[in-house]
Chains A and B, each alone.
Chain A
Amino acid sequence: MFKVGIDVGSINTKVAIRDTDTGETVAIHVRPTGYKPRATAHAAYEACLQEAEIERSRAGRLVATGYARHAVDFAHASITEIKAAALGIRHWHPECRAIIDIGGQDSKVVVLDESGRVSDFKMNDRCAAGTGNFLAVLAEKLQVPLERFGPLALRSRKPVAISSLCVVMAESEILSLVAADTPVEDIIAGLHEALARRIANMMAPLDVRPQVVFTGGVAQNKGMQLAMESALGQRIHIAKMPLFAAAVGAALS
């Protein structure tokens, strides 16, 4: 038998299918969410089943998560992405006590107790500051593909201080830096540091203990991992399959 998790995020919709007999994740699928989350979730689900050659009748329980979870009206249940991320990350990282999840629309810090239960969480959800969107918008401004942000940041010798975390204000700040002929890798490293400071501030009032696991789309960026480690003063582990942690968690619930 199989269980399915669908994570309908603001940028991507992710599907994970677990074989309940072996405990293995046997199929994953990702596609852009677009502006019709229900239809996208349905199409992603069907595509994932097809890729894994699983008949729909054997798919079993389906749990939706992510910001548009309530739009998935063919799901048997829904859980928040906070609970889903906790389940998914803890499954792969049994020692994890805190999760940093930087997604397209928001960023979250989730604190887990010894048993893996969510004991506290904080979310930044008011604007793009502190989210993956912050980097995405500025990547466009700098005309650098987002996937090159990480490698370029690692080449930086002297990251510049970026004081604005508002995307609009940061754009102006970057214009001044570009005009002053600042190397692009130093600007990108500065952006990572600014974002990392924001996350560190969000974590400050929480009882965060090792191991800290970094997940969400931005966790694929190595430069961001180093900036987070520097801001927090501790080692950050990158989640196994960061994009799919919540979908796997939903399938585990």
Chain B
Amino acid sequence: MALIPRERVEEFRVERIAELQDFRRAGIKVIGYFSYYAPVEIIRVAGAIPVRLMRGGYDAEVRGERYLRSDACPVCLSTMGNFDMARSERAADSLYALVDAIVGVNTCDLLHRLPESIHRYFNLPVFELYMPRTSEPLPHRLTEFKRQLEWLAAELAAFTGQEFERERLTPEVRSSNHVRGLLRTLDDRRKHDGPALTESDVLNLVTLATILDGKRFAQFAADVELKAGSRPRSSNRSRLMLGGSEVAEQDRWLVETIEQKADIVTDLLSEGTRWFADDCNTEGDAMDNLTNFYFTRSPCMTRRPNDEVYANAQRRVEEFRVHGLVYKTLLYCDPWNFEAVRLRKEIGIPMLHIDGNYSTENREQLRTRVEAFLENL
């Protein structure tokens, strides 16, 4: 059973939206982002508040077809749909209604097009970083990436009208490291039998970490740590890894369905445990540190070479004593979908691959596939 009920996440969201509305009235800008390659420390030092937009939802996905082709990935379609709905009375209080600009990172072709579309249809300023698809940190690539981070800092400072105080970068990095450290401590509790946290909890924690103020999140994470510590530990259920594309906030049906029958003890998701896997160096030049950190974060499947993703998966299978992998890709999310064949060959444990969008059309069939997979573990 999840430690963090969905209702609690929604309460935090409502509180945060009210706070952000106050900040905006005081003239402070709110910047939306999608990818974990977006350098939130730079956004903060530029005097703005970063919030991650990953709500998802089937209604939003369908609404997004007004702007993008229907074979765009559900993340991009639902993002457009959520922006559209935020401009109607139906969702006037959503985070999508509050952002003043977008920081995009072109991790895949559609995430390259998405900020352009947001700018075109919703008239929001967009600042886009070009992340090299090659993940080897060769000097000329790092130099170019650093140039882009410097460009982003200057552009955002001009946008907010505030001076970019570089000396504030390292304290911001420490703050991010602190949050990631809290999440790693909590995640480690899943190595034991009868894991103290569910995958739903971890995904909710990542969601809150990307929406809330750092101090408020740290306070909440400490409460969760206390609750997790007092949980009885015994379980003879199968221990699973969940892998695949982004799991949006309103796309949790599969996770919750699996967790009725088995324990998901770790993940190989686009943005699950990878979000807090690494820390940024705090010694030396802060912009150099951020360049190295964001360039070399555990790579998304879009980048090559991505052997590190496989090495990380193997480590986690051993450390968390995983019996099987459920790999859920989003329809038309080709980078993650493409890797399913290699993963099946290399992961060394049974794997179930599911590909779908946010619709509810074949849920009972999916339940059968999940249950049949668990029966055979």
Contacts and interface: CB of A to CB of B under 8 A. Distances in A.
B371 A80 contact: yes
B372 A67 contact: no
A105 interface: yes
Nearest to B361: A126
Contacts of A125: 362, 365-366, 368-369
Interface string B343-377: 00000000000001000011011101101100110
Interface in B123-160: none
Contact of A121 (B361, B365, B372): B372
Nearest to B350: A120
B362 A82 contact: no
B369 A83 contact: no
Range, interface on chain B: 10 to 19
Given A117-B376, A118-B376, A123 B365 contact: yes
Contacts of B361: 126
Chain B at the A interface: SS class: helix
A252 to B, nearest CB: 14
A238 to B, nearest CB: 23
A79 interface: yes
Nearest to B370: A80
Contacts of B375: 79-80, 82-83, 118
Interface string A64-102: 000110000000000111110000000000000000000
B362 A126 contact: yes
Contacts of A106: 365
Chain A at the B interface: SS class: loop
A82 B372 contact: yes
B365 A80 contact: no
A123 B369 contact: yes
Contact of B372 (A68, A105, A117, A118): A118
Interface string B193-228: 000000000000000000000000000000000000
A80 B362 contact: no
Contact of B365 (A79, A83, A105, A119): A105
A81 B368 CA distance: 8
A145 to B, nearest CB: 28
A118 B371 CA distance: 13
Interface in A94-144: 105-106, 117-119, 121, 123, 125-126
A242 B362 CA distance: 24
A9 to B, nearest CB: 12
Contacts of B368: 67, 80-82, 123, 125
Contacts of B364: 67-68
Contacts of B362: 125-126
Nearest to A105: B365
B33 to A, nearest CB: 32
Of B371, B372, B375, B376, the most chain A CB neighbours within 10 A belong to B372
Nearest to A82: B372
Contacts of B372: 80, 82-83, 118, 121
19 contacts: A67-B365, A67-B368, A68-B364, A79-B375, A80-B368, A80-B371, A82-B368, A82-B375, A83-B372, A83-B376, A105-B365, A118-B372, A118-B376, A119-B376, A123-B365, A123-B368, A125-B362, A125-B365, A126-B361
**Closest 8 pairs between A and B when the two form their complex, measured CB to CB:** A125-B365, A82-B372, A80-B372, A80-B371, A118-B376, A125-B362, A83-B375, A80-B368
Given A125-B362, A126-B362, 8 more contacts: A67-B364, A68-B364, A80-B371, A118-B375, A119-B376, A123-B368, A125-B365, A126-B356
